[in-house]
Structure formats: structure tokens, C-alpha cells
Amino acid sequence: MKTIAENINVMSKSIGAAMKDRDPGPIQEMAKRCTEAGADLLDINLGPARKDGPEMMEWVVNTVQEVSDLQLCLDTSNHEAMEAGIQACKKPPLLNSFSAQPDKMEDILPLAAKYDCEIIGLTMSTHIPIDTDERIAIAYEIVAAANELGIPNERIWIDPIILPIGVEVGQAHAVAVQEVLKMLPEVFDPPVQTTCGLSNTSNGAPDELRSAIDRAFLPMLAACGLTSAIVNACDPEMMRTVRLINALRNESLYSVSDAELK
Amino acid sequence: MKTIAENINVMSKSIGAAMKDRDPGPIQEMAKRCTEAGADLLDINLGPARKDGPEMMEWVVNTVQEVSDLQLCLDTSNHEAMEAGIQACKKPPLLNSFSAQPDKMEDILPLAAKYDCEIIGLTMSTHIPIDTDERIAIAYEIVAAANELGIPNERIWIDPIILPIGVEVGQAHAVAVQEVLKMLPEVFDPPVQTTCGLSNTSNGAPDELRSAIDRAFLPMLAACGLTSAIVNACDPEMMRTVRLINALRNESLYSVSDAELK
């Protein structure tokens, strides 16, 4: 399975300040760290990016690309910032993300089609259904709308949406996510990709317990067929878990170093 | 999922010596420790038990039952020791284990039928097939033979056999085990129980890396439907992983203490 590093995020105190001050140091250091840790893609999360969105996104993309060749995953609700980011990318990025609401789909899908981007579609519209079949029905809507614009299944990453385990009905949602992942390969041919915001599992738990919760869930999702996850690439135990998952799915040749903390 | 503590084992230096010397201290201490750690059953592994087998098994069972009310899982290839252990058990034990060879089945199944015991059947005959369908075919043989003696599916625990990830074709076997677990609920109605010797996954790896390997695999197996595992109950990170699995399968109500090391 692939990993998308969640770490270049405006919500992070040091990264957010560096973005605002256009200080490349902390951002490039983080990009290098995630790349060396074995991430397959780097998420660049600018949030709403209301102020200077396009200019900031272009600057961050260029700043990251100076130190890493990894594919980028662009994460902002600012349409102009998204397009500026795509244009700055050396290779077509993954666009993160949109729900199955008409205005959200009209915002992202034409951009993805125009620039040959991959996309992350969330199995939610105005609300997140607890029901597995409803999540699958929404995935249908997303895939149909994307296909209509010429975006093939292989470039669509469905995110069945993880809620914090500690919130009400969070556990039922955790089961639904597993069920959706098991069903998706039977529903779409060729299959779609899948991903999830893994850290959301432990959102609200004490900081020192979060990694353990996420590391228990990721192998479960992997066994259900998950093809990628957005993870904390700065957590060596998390990246070790990913290496071991890949060995235990027989997707990479196991060596004892896969079990080591790096 | 249930856990069977692997720790009362003649192969352990301190436990083996205590068994030989009929010294209850270390055995009772271990039984209490595993019980407090949250194990659901205690395995009592005497191995071949060639010398004083029946008398030793009876003594160990009684010694453990003085400090723990948990169901016991008796593990020996000595038929007389197995029967002596069953007779000493306050509640019918789980018998661990037999392969689908005529002499092995004739050794265990009549005992299980006579004393209302649960049984662990390994999906192997003279060799361990790498093929998923062959493993399922062997499970059929085991279940048919057990049913014939009046042992219902619910009391049959199928073990699809984990091999060390580091041996040749170990990774292919790891995938086969996951596939078998996914198929079993479709094959048997009512469903059989399942279990595995989890620590075998990391057999041969450096000691300090073994827990991480096992803790990556167990959630994968759990997501495939595994209903129990034989684990190192003295590993707090392992028992935390089990608690989190049960919460993430929505089989127990999550509380933040599930994520704590105890």
C-alpha cells in the first residue's frame, strides 16, 4: 500500500508559520524527512487558504519540489489555489478531496480532467452515512461523474471516511469503513484506488496514545483491501507498520529491516 | 476476539523447570499474570510429555486452577496426558491441536466427543499446503470427522497455520492464511471458530522485533474474521492491540483505557 505523508499542513504550528512567512527551511526539512521515511506522496494541506491562496500554494509546491521528487497531493478548498498548485507541479498531483455534492464535484472534477490529475472522492454528501450501502451508492455517484469527464477508475481514490473511534457511533463507522473497502473491488471494474485519513481514528485521544490506535486500525484496513493511507510519516512505528503490512500482503519482499525502527 | 495465553509452556526455561520440579510458584504467578492481562484462555503446553505425562498434566492443571478460573487449553501429543488433563479440568478444555491425519484425528476426536471438549484442528495433513483451496479442503475433512462424532461446528476451532514470515514462501503462506479466514464463514454453517499461533509469524526474527511483527499481522487476521489467537499475554503492547481490535470491530465498547499500556 502507498502512504501519503500528512505532515506538510498549515495546521501544524511550525509549518503554518513557515508558509505564512515564506520560510522554506521548515517545509523543506519536513519534505525531506517524510521522503526519507518512505512516504510515496506528500500532502500539501493549505486548508481554506483565503489569503494569497494561489500564490502561497505555488510557492509551497515549488519549495517542496526543490527537495523531493515525490508525487504531491494538493489539499485546499480554494479553487484558484488548487489550480495554481496543479500548474506548479512537475507531475500531475492527486487532488484531496471532494464530497458528492454538486458544487464540490463541479469544483474539482473539471480541474482533474483538464490537468490529468488523480482525485480523492469522499463517500459523503451533506452528511456521512453510517450505512455501508449508502457509502457505496455515493462512491457510484463519484465514479460516474468522474468517468463522464474522462477520468478513469484507476485515477479515482475513494475515501470511505474514518471518524474518531471515541465519538458516538464512531465504532459503527469503523466497521462500515471496513465493509466498504471489502465491497469496492466487487463494485468497480477496473477497480478504484482507496485511501483514508488514518489519524482521524485517534482524533481526540491523548497524544501519547494516538499512534497505537492508528497502528491497530491500519492493518485491519489493509486486510480489507485499502490501497493507500494518509499517515503521519514522522512516526517511525507507523512507517514500520506500513512496511510489515506490505510484506504480509506479499507486495514487497520481506527483510528483517522491515521490522526495525528507522 | 478471544486470546489464548501461550505462556505456560514447558519450552520456557522457568516454567519448564517449575513443571519438572513440581514447583507451583512460577506457574501460578504466570497464570495470574496472564489472567490479569486479559487473556480469555490459558494454554498449558507440555509438549511430548514423555516422562510422567499424565501425572504432570494433572498437577499443572490443578496448580493453575488454584489461581485462575479461565478455561484451559491443553497442548500435548501424549494421549494419556491429554486425558488426565481433561479429567482434572473444572470446565471442558480446548484441545490443542491435531492435523488431518487419520491417526491424529483418532487420537483427539473421540476424547473431545467423550468429554464435551472444544478442539483446534490444523489445516494440514502430512504437509502444509500453500494453496488456499487445499487448506479449505482439509478444514472440510476435519469438520466432517468431528461432526460424525457429534462435535458441532461451534466447538471446532480451525487453525489455518501461520509460518514464519522470514522463511521461504512464508509471505505466500501469510496471504493464504488471510484468504482461508475470509472463506471459512462462507463454507461452514453454522460457522466454525478460528485461531492461530500468532508468535510463529515472527519466529526467527530478533527478539526485540518480534512483537512489532506479530502486532502488524494480528489486526490483519482480525479483519479477515479471525475469532481467537494464541498470543504472548505478557506483552502489554500485544494485549493493547487486542483491545483496540475488539473496539474497532465494534465487539466491545471503546474507552480510552483500551489504548493504554497496562
Domains of chain B: 2-259 (3.20.20.20)
- Give first-to-last CA distance, chain A, whole Å: 19
Q: What is the pLDDT of residue A169?
A: 95
Q: At what angle do helices B132-148 and B102-115 cross, to 10 degrees?
A: 50
pLDDT, mean over chain B: 97
Read off the pTM: 0.97
CA of A85 vs chain B CAs: smallest distance (Å): 36
Q: Strand B41-47 vs strand B71-76: parallel, antiparallel, or unpaired? A: parallel
Mean pLDDT of A145-162: 98
What chain B residue is nearest to A208 in terms of C-alpha separation?
B260
Nearest to A223 among B166, B171, B224 (CB): B224
What band does B229 get if pLDDT is binned at 50, 70 and 90?
Answer: very high
Share of chain B above pLDDT 70, in %: 100
Mean pLDDT of B183-204: 97
Edge-to-edge strand ranges of the sheet holding B228-231: B193-194, B156-159, B118-122, B94-99, B71-76, B41-47, B2-9, B228-231
ipTM above 0.85, yes or no: yes
B contact test, residue of A167, A256, A260 with most B CBs within 10 A: A256
CA of B92 vs chain A CAs: smallest distance (Å): 32
Q: By 3-state DSSP, what share of chain A in percent is helix, strand and coil, each rounded to 5?
A: 50, 15, 30
Measured between CB atoms, does A209 come within 8 Å of chain B? yes
What chain B residue is nearest to A259 in terms of C-alpha separation?
B209
Which positions in chain B touch A248 (Cβ < 8 Å)?
165, 171, 174-175, 216-217, 220
**Exposed, middle or buried: residue B144 (CB in 10 Å: 0-12, 13-18, 19+)?**
exposed
Half-sphere exposure of B158 (CA within 13 A, CB side): 33
Q: Hey, what's the cell of B105? A: 484425528
User: A99: Cβ–Cβ under 8 A, 6 or more apart, which residues?
Assistant: A121, A122, A124, A125
Nearest to A250 among B172, B241, B248 (CB): B172
Q: What is the pLDDT of residue B199?
A: 98
Helix (H, G, I), strand (E, B) or coil at A101: coil
CA distances from A211 to A238, A261, B56, B121, B207 (A): 7, 14, 44, 36, 22
Mean pLDDT of A172-180: 98
CA distances from A146 to A85, A106, A117, A169, A228 (A): 21, 10, 11, 31, 20
Q: What is the pLDDT of residue A224?
A: 98
Q: Do A256 and B171 touch (CB under 8 A)?
A: no
Q: Do A223 and B223 touch (CB under 8 A)?
A: yes
What band does A129 get if pLDDT is binned at 50, 70 and 90?
Answer: very high
Q: Do A259 and B223 touch (CB under 8 A)?
A: no
Q: What is the pLDDT of residues B57-89, one digit of tens each?
A: 999 999 999 999 999 999 999 999 999 999 999
CA distances from B190 to B105, B148, B154, B177 (A): 21, 15, 7, 20
Mean pLDDT of A47-54: 94
Q: Which residues pair with A261 in a beta bridge?
A: none
What band does B46 get if pLDDT is binned at 50, 70 and 90?
Answer: very high
Q: What is the pLDDT of residue A194?
A: 98
What band does B107 get if pLDDT is binned at 50, 70 and 90?
Answer: very high
User: B22: Cβ–Cβ under 8 A, 6 or more apart, which residues?
Assistant: B59
Q: What is the pLDDT of residue A152?
A: 98
Q: What is the pLDDT of residue A153?
A: 98
Measured between CB atoms, does A174 come within 8 Å of chain B? yes
What chain A residue is nearest to B212 in terms of C-alpha separation?
A259
Q: What is the pLDDT of residue B158?
A: 98
CA of A41 vs chain B CAs: smallest distance (Å): 22
Q: Do A223 and B218 touch (CB under 8 A)?
A: no
DSSP letter assigned to residue A197: B
Asked if residue B162 lies in contact with residue B198, where contact means CB atoms within 8 angstroms, the answer is: yes
Measured between CB atoms, does B236 come within 8 Å of chain A? no
Q: What is the pLDDT of residue B176?
A: 98
What chain A residue is nearest to B172 in terms of C-alpha separation?
A250
**Exposed, middle or buried: residue B238 (CB in 10 Å: 0-12, 13-18, 19+)?**
buried
Q: What is the pLDDT of residue B242?
A: 98
What band does A69 get if pLDDT is binned at 50, 70 and 90?
Answer: very high
CA of A165 vs chain B CAs: smallest distance (Å): 7
What band does B119 get if pLDDT is binned at 50, 70 and 90?
Answer: very high
Which positions in chain B touch A218 (Cβ < 8 Å)?
219
CA of B248 vs chain A CAs: smallest distance (Å): 6
Asked if residue B244 lies in contact with residue B259, where contact means CB atoms within 8 angstroms, the answer is: yes
What band does A132 get if pLDDT is binned at 50, 70 and 90?
Answer: very high
Q: Which residues pair with B5 in a beta bridge?
A: B42, B231
Which positions in chain A touch B223 (Cβ < 8 Å)?
178, 219-224
